[in-house]
Chain A
């Protein structure tokens, strides 16, 4: 049985300016022991999805349709009391901002202890021991002493580790990590990703990793759900997604992430003889790619495919009908060198995905054509 499945989750806020459709069919599946990355721009509804899973939605959020199945049990129908035994014990969350996620007036030890005591009775000395060992496990030195520290006495990276330790204490089946590395710097990001990976393997937990960074996806996840404007637009394994993205948005995301290609470009610059501190204008760095336009706000969702105003593959149908997230049988090259083609079943919400796949494959030899396509699309508008 699938460990965690989200099906067609739709969520809305009713505001005085009218309804805001913030989630519009989010779907994905998470199996035990794997890491699924949910990737999308800020405002695409990733945090709200995570909070729905935890039953911690802010007041005013209305779940319209959808199911959240944890081992077959629909969490959305739980009572408040039932929720309490699920939170922390079966699903635990690491929050985006570790600064504000910890209570400023309680010591680290007190806050950790609650995570245990909320679910079982234990003697204070045992609780303390468990808390200290959890801190040790997330790589905090002198864990015993840190138990009596207040959050403000710790650095940002350590606070994030405390939050992770807190989530782990009740040994959850699913760990939801909402942008766990966005607020820390790159070296700390590397440490925390490594820690999450180590813990996932050790406890064979499932991890839902929320991020906007495809680099993080490539490093840490086995599967990916790409979300755009509150909707899952593509589901794939990490390898598949990076090899042949089927949704134009995924293509654009991939193109704008720092990659090996970016590094090799830098190396080329270095190899060319550069005397003096100035580089000649001809060596001036090329423009970085970014998907033209802006993500739509929930108040003004485009009709049809939400991506169509920014999409270079748009056809007439896209602005009228909404493409479903369906399994498609597509022929993709399994090996880019031999050009061998295999047919696989993939899920993406796009009418034109065969063209997209072909373009993505072609783009391996150069992004040039794809970028021309994008430019041509944007020209008449600007």
Chain B
């Protein structure tokens, strides 16, 4: 158990470094700079700004300065004076290059809760519903209910997240205005985004559960359960479903990752003040520090969630890490 955790941690450190390096390099490789949009900037002012933010440094030096709590230039970190001495290792992502009054950390602090609420909400409805529908489909395998659910889940898997988001907007906000189009102030605002974000996950979980339960129904322990005189309900929900849940729990890791990436698009479509929206904007605006900050936070999150799901799955399985008595 502890070993597994350590292994996950090592993986995390390595991939964070790789993700940072790659995205840093990509950002700088693409033509354009953070101040392009501010039309009419005098070339000298622009040069001054660039110098202030060390954009005139070689990329590798900028990268090192971004990471470490060490002083590479005369002015310390990003020119805000010798008192600023951060770097991501000190949990300082620097100031946003676009919203110069804000630090990236402030922006993240304001927007991440929105994204978390959205993601949690999406998981909270989609996983239980997926399990429920999957089990129902397995219990009624071969009937019209199973067929209907199969059509639904196939649609859910095939349609990309933004199509579901746009469609649900069209139907439930414009054509039939049950829910608000955008914003994030009440539960009603959250319904459509959470639906759009969770739908692919729900369908996938449903499929996973259905095949797991069907497979388990063929196994000997299910026969034993029936042989005791248990009813079909107990056999399916207590015996067949239980072991079918292990792969579902393990899938929660990738599912959370999918929800995180999905949230980038969904937040943008519903104009939510979440980290995803900021990420998309920052990428478009060459707001290097903000984009890198969001990337970093998301990488760490995806990793932690994956590790958590893994540990949870092995925790739920008594056979893992235990020992056999003989």
Task: Report which A residues bind B (CB closer than 8 A).
Answer: 51, 54, 56, 80, 84-89, 92-93, 95, 97, 100-106, 111, 114-115, 118-119, 150, 152-155, 163, 166, 170
Contacts and interface: CB of A to CB of B under 8 A. Distances in A.
A87 B226 contact: yes
A93 B324 contact: no
A115 B230 CA distance: 8
Given A80-B232, A104-B243, A114 B225 contact: yes
Contact of A105 (B226, B318, B323): B318
Interface string B216-243: 0001110111111111101000110011
Contacts of B242: 103, 105-106
B106 interface: no
B101 interface: no
Given A102-B224, A111-B224, A152-B322, 12 more contacts: A51-B223, A85-B229, A92-B228, A95-B227, A100-B219, A101-B220, A103-B242, A105-B246, A114-B228, A114-B234, A115-B229, A119-B229
Which of B223, B231, B232, B326 has the largest count of A CB atoms less than 10 A from its CB?
Answer: B223
Contacts of A100: 219-221
Contact of A150 (B219, B220, B319): B319
Contacts of A105: 242-243, 246, 316-318
A89 B229 contact: yes
Interface of B: 219-221, 223-232, 234, 238-239, 242-243, 246, 316-319, 322-326
A95 B223 contact: yes
7 contacts: A56-B226, A101-B224, A103-B225, A103-B242, A105-B316, A106-B242, A150-B319
A88 B230 CA distance: 9
A114 B220 contact: no
A95 B221 CA distance: 10
B318 A163 contact: no
B228 A118 contact: yes
A80 B326 CA distance: 40
B229 A84 contact: yes
A89 B219 CA distance: 22
Contacts of B230: 84, 114, 118
Which of B221, B223, B226, B242 has the largest count of A CB atoms less than 10 A from its CB?
Answer: B221
Nearest first, the 6 closest Cβ-Cβ pairs linking A and B are A88-B229, A100-B220, A118-B229, A150-B318, A87-B229, A103-B221
A104 B319 contact: yes
A56 B221 CA distance: 12
Given A89-B229, A118-B230, A119-B229, A152 B223 contact: no
Contacts of B318: 104-105, 150, 152-153
A288 B224 CA distance: 38
Given A95-B220, A105-B242, A105-B317, A152 B225 contact: no
Which of B225, B228, B239, B325 has the largest count of A CB atoms less than 10 A from its CB?
Answer: B228
Nearest to B243: A105
B325 A97 contact: no
Contact of B227 (A56, A119, A155): A56
Contacts of A106: 239, 242
A103 B231 contact: no
Contacts of A155: 324-326
A93 B220 CA distance: 12
Contacts of A93: 227
A79 to B, nearest CB: 13
Given A105-B243, A153-B324, A153-B325, A92 B232 contact: no
A279 B11 CA distance: 64
Nearest to A88: B229
Nearest to B240: A103
Given A89-B229, A103-B243, A118-B229, A56 B319 contact: no
B253 to A, nearest CB: 20
Which of A51, A101, A163 has the largest count of B CB atoms less than 10 A from its CB?
Answer: A101
B218 to A, nearest CB: 8
Contacts of A102: 221, 224
A114 B235 CA distance: 11
